[in-house]
Amino acid sequence: MKILLILFSAVLINQNVYAENLCSNDHLAYPKSLSDINDNQETSCDLCGCFMGIDPNFSNNMIGIRYSSFKYFADANEVNDPNLDHEGHDGTSSTEYYNNIELYGRYYFSPKLKLMFNIPFSSNDINGKKLNGFGDMKVFLQYQLYNSSIERHTSFWQRIFLGGGMKLPTGVYNKSFVFGVVDPHFQPGTGSFDILLTGNYLAKFVDPGIGFNMDVLYSLNGENKNDYRFANLFNITSSLFYEVMPSDQFTMLPHAGVYYENAKNDKQNGVDVKDSGGWAFFGTGGIDFYLSNYSLELTFQYPFSQNLNGTQPQNEYRFFIGAGYSF
């Protein structure tokens, strides 16, 4: 909470100082369509990764809330020992849901430097056995390395952001069921300090309003007090989007692309955890709606291919729905 208060105070102090700078940066918002990729989720499962959302109000501060749900399924013969990974798989098929409600935001300290944060609350379910609690907060900075000249006659423009930050152990990670041990991946939090490295590339043809974005995240994970270390995680998102503007105040942004994530084995007391890590490749698509400063985002991800180590439940689908306000 101290960290949140410090960040909130910094936002209030700097808001008036940089308001004029942001207004002087209005030319970046023409046309009001360049996407911004934000680190919005972050979940505690080793292959849950980070979802990146599209936002045409890229040069504005923002606050929003998002709901996400990830479904996993295990056949009866995949995991048959309740004392092993993913407690509760007792020889029957198993269905797992990892649900998050997230508060996220973006604040520009200057036209080139922005802060982003994410605070999740998790409600996870394995065959009706539930664990609820706050997850780990993520906070990081991104700096704009390049932004092509934006003028009224420009037909193609692009920009590059690089940054880094931390995932803080604010979530609960030692909750237990009355009937058994809980797998670390089922916990809302991880209990570790993690370093986040991020990069974003965005390009757009002003006419006909077609664009491409790519976002990369690498997470260097620490060890928690249980001597458990989640594997370092790499993921990359790339998508094409098309801007439809029925009016000056209303924009629709359909988008489609691919998402890839990869992690090696976790470690317990320095020893590899067999049933952890692997890779997954998703197709992703959705549509976002923007009315003035308000936004509604809908995204669905489906696994085309996956290879998870050991006997882990397989990805079934992931979906996201969020609402935001830019100011």
DSSP 79-127: ---TTSSSTT--SS-EEEEEEEEEEEEEEEEETTEEEEEEEEEEEEEET
Over residues 79-105, the pLDDT tens digits come to 444 444 455 445 578 899 999 999 999
Average pLDDT over residues 231-253: 93
Higher model confidence: residue 11 or residue 257? 257
Backbone angles phi, psi at 23, to 5 degrees: -65, -35
- Domains of the chain are 2-326 (2.40.160.40)
Which residue, 294, 297, 296, 278, is CA-closest to 286? Answer: 297
pTM: 0.78
Over residues 141-167, the pLDDT tens digits come to 999 999 886 555 568 888 899 999 999
CB 56 within 8 Å of CB 37: no
